[in-house]
Amino acid sequence: MSEAAQVQLVGAGPGPVDLMTLRAVRAVESAQALLYDALIGDEAIALAPPGCVRIQTGKRAGKPSMHQDEINRLMLRLARKGLRVVRLKGGDPSVFGRVGEESAFLREHGVSVEVVPGVTAACAAAAQFGFPLTHRGEARRVVFTTARLEAGTLSGDWSAAGDPEATLAVYMGGEVAQALCERMIAAGRAPRTPAVAVEQAGGANARIYHGTLETLGDRLSSQGGPVVIVVGEVAAQARELAVDVAQETFARAALTA
């Protein structure tokens, strides 16, 4: 095995290439083997140089994908060949990106690991639609979680969902939104607590659904892309349309010139 065997676990952010970090872009540009998830956009994949081995691993909820142990073994095999291996993940690798499992496996087999952070979907949604995740006097904490059904009910402990000073960012919750909202109300959250769901956060086709815990579930029946649900008083500040950051920056510059 090459003494320099290394894998980079890289966050691609929420989609657009200009929301990738410089280190993430440079990692992909120098990759000799690129293993990417299903939600990674074509522009990010195109950053890889000619001759780079490109392998889609899947990893989208409810869709066909490689098993995690297959991905682990594939990364190990490519690294042992001396290739510069980049595992490209949507969002941030440390937020529901299995970075802990993959890092532990590779290190146990003598491969060094570098983690390159990225913009996670909840942060992208907040920036794009103009609301904060924390706010003095309203939201002192942020909880990142996922939601899935087991035997028709939400799995896991949702007691923390009743905290009125917490913002909850729920990943992969679009298909279980109704059950999710009901569970939060049962945990003690007020039914009229503001809530938004953002589909394809950070992307050009991002879409926001406004509501409360009482109403949001009924408004998500037509969503088709990846969704992050944000619950808490901060959600009341969300705009109807996405913020065009570049346009607003230009406008401010023109006013102060």
DSSP-derived secondary structure for 88-125: EESB-TTTTS-HHHHHHHHHHTT-EEEEE----HHHHH
Residue 230 has pLDDT above 90, yes or no: yes
Proportion of the chain above pLDDT 70, given as a percent: 89
Residues serving a catalytic function are 37, 59
pLDDT band at 160 (very low <50, low <70, confident <90, very high): confident
Q: How confident is the model at residue 153 (pLDDT cuts 50, 70, 90)?
A: confident
Residues in the chain: 257
In the chain the first and final C-alpha atoms are separated, in Å, by 59
Ramachandran assignment for 214, one of left (phi > 0), alpha (psi -120 to 50 degrees), beta (any other): alpha
Beta strand 85-89 with 33-37 is parallel
Mean pLDDT, all residues of the chain: 90
Instruction: Please tell me the predicted confidence (pLDDT) of residue 225.
Output: 75
- CATH classification of 121-237 is 3.90.79.10, yes or no? no
Residue 147 — pLDDT band, cuts 50, 70, 90?
confident
Of 87-101, 155-169, 212-226, highest mean pLDDT: 87-101
Q: CATH 3.40.1010.10 occupies which residues in the chain? A: 6-116
Counting Cα atoms < 13 Å in the Cβ hemisphere of 144 gives 9
Cα 216 → chain centroid: 21
The answer, yes or no, to whether residue 224 has pLDDT greater than 90, is no
CATH 3.30.950.10 residue ranges for the chain: 121-237
Domain 6-116 has CATH 3.30.70.360: no
pLDDT band at 139 (very low <50, low <70, confident <90, very high): very high
pLDDT of 156: 84
